[in-house]
Structure 1
Amino acid sequence: MSKIEILEYQPCWPREFQEIKDKLSMLLGALAVQIDHIGSTAVPELAAKDIIDIQVSVKALDDPKIIELMVAAGYVFKEGINQDNLVGYQAGDSELMKLYFREAEGGRAAHIHVREIGRVNQQYPLLFRDFLRENEEIKQAYGKVKYELAQRFANDIEAYYAIKDPYMDTLFYAANLLKKKSDN
């Protein structure tokens, strides 16, 4: 991977997401229950890497048509990236399973995560995104953490994520606790 670079929020990110979403919607049809803009580019005024993160929620992750259609359209399937990591869950837990694709050659840089609807890893990025959208100080703190990590570990993606991921998990669990309290 090239150098980790964090950019200030770009107003074009929502439009770029919508363009990719439209293509995925046409491609996957009813296989895609919903397609969401996730990650930092989905949070107004949050600094981010210039990569559009997308979550495609499906009913059944093991439907072979998903991979067939995506690969036939030129998306790059990363077979070795088939689960997320989340503190409190073991590797191989079905709650963390996913399919992962990158953009087609020459396409807009994108991470496309296909996850089964209702699983914890499908709910995580939506709750995380919404929590940042609704909490200005937490969003600013998260942006600062990302800038600092990118400066200190610009050429070491493993170190960058070794610190960033547990920080994100902490925010997810805090958001989840607040959601449960507000639901009661």
Structure 2
Amino acid sequence: MSSSITIVRPDPTWAAQFDKTAQTIRAIVGDTVTRVDHIGSTAVPGLVSKDVLDIQATVSSELQLDEVAQLLVDANWELRPPRSDHPVPGLPSEALQWVKRLVIEPMYRRRVNLHIRIAGRANQRYALLFRDYLRAHPTTAAAYGAFKERAARLPLENVGDYADLKDPVCDLIYLPAEEWAARTGWTP
């Protein structure tokens, strides 16, 4: 058994790839989303990552989660589990704070994980603050990158195991990020 995770060097074109993909997403979903953001490791300059763009589309209500997901499915994107993110210690534990939809790109297109989340919910804020904290703290980003490289070498059965392994490490980064946000006045 070996991991199916491949971590690659930072690609300076990831931001441009996001811009192009965001245009495609906006053309499909229109004004049903309030914002489209580049999140995850490919959104942090200099950070190693899987070569998969993580994107967050923000909607205003729970009804819009399924509306946006269906628009994308109608455009040949694929709806995938999970339907929620993991609750983070110290943040609201109500299930509604962690609801999302996850869709992936149409077959034979640039790999994308599109997370659809509700504005103001804990998981929507988490993705943005985590990204911005790593952008502002390159040493922390480098340590996180080293962890990801080591984790990818473990004998994991699937990508879900890799994500489960990363979750508590991300939470350990996120908790001081909240303090940083309060100190600096950061807002999403």
* TM-score in terms of structure 1 length: 0.91
Q: Does 1:41 align with 2:23?
A: no
Aligned residue among 164, 167, 177 for 1:165: 167
Q: Does 1:112 align with 2:109?
A: no
RMSD: 2.1
Which of 1 and 2 has higher RCO (CA within 8 Å, sep 6+)?
Answer: 2
Summarize the alignment of residues 57-68 of structure 1 with structure 2, pairs less than 5 Å apart.
57-63=58-64, 64-68=66-70
Q: Measure the CA separation in 2 of the matches of 1:51 and 1:127.
A: 20
SS at match of 1:35: strand
Aligned residue number for residue 11 of structure 2:
10
Using the TM superposition, give the Cα deviation of residue 179 of structure 1 relative to its aligned residue in structure 2, in angstroms: 1.3
Q: Does 1:139 align with 2:144?
A: no
Cα 1:101–1:47 change in 2 (3 A) is: same
- CA-to-aligned-CA distance 1:28-63 (integer Å, 9 cap, x gap): 111110000000000111000000000000111323
State the one-letter code of the partner of 1:120.
A
Aligned residue number for residue 50 of structure 1:
51
- Contact between 2:29 and 2:68, CA under 8 Å: does it hold in 1? yes
Q: Does 1:69 align with 2:71?
A: yes
SS at match of 1:23: helix
- Contact between 1:32 and 1:56, CA under 8 Å: does it hold in 2? yes
Aligned residue number for residue 29 of structure 2:
28
Q: Measure the CA separation in 2 of the matches of 1:159 and 1:58.
A: 28
Using the TM superposition, give the Cα deviation of residue 16 of structure 1 relative to its aligned residue in structure 2, in angstroms: 1.2
- Contact between 1:6 and 1:146, CA under 8 Å: does it hold in 2? yes
What residue ranges of structure 1 are gaps of 5+ in the alignment?
none
State the one-letter code of the partner of 2:114.
I
- Contact between 1:46 and 1:143, CA under 8 Å: does it hold in 2? yes
Aligned residue number for residue 124 of structure 1:
126
Regions of 4+ moved over 3 Å: 89-92, 153-159
Using the TM superposition, give the Cα deviation of residue 177 of structure 1 relative to its aligned residue in structure 2, in angstroms: 1.5
State the one-letter code of the partner of 2:136.
E
Number of corresponding residues: 183
Cα 1:159–1:69 change in 2 (3 A) is: closer
Aligned residue number for residue 94 of structure 1:
96
SS at match of 1:87: coil
Using the TM superposition, give the Cα deviation of residue 68 of structure 1 relative to its aligned residue in structure 2, in angstroms: 2.4
State the one-letter code of the partner of 2:18.
F
* TM-score in terms of structure 2 length: 0.89
SS at match of 1:133: helix
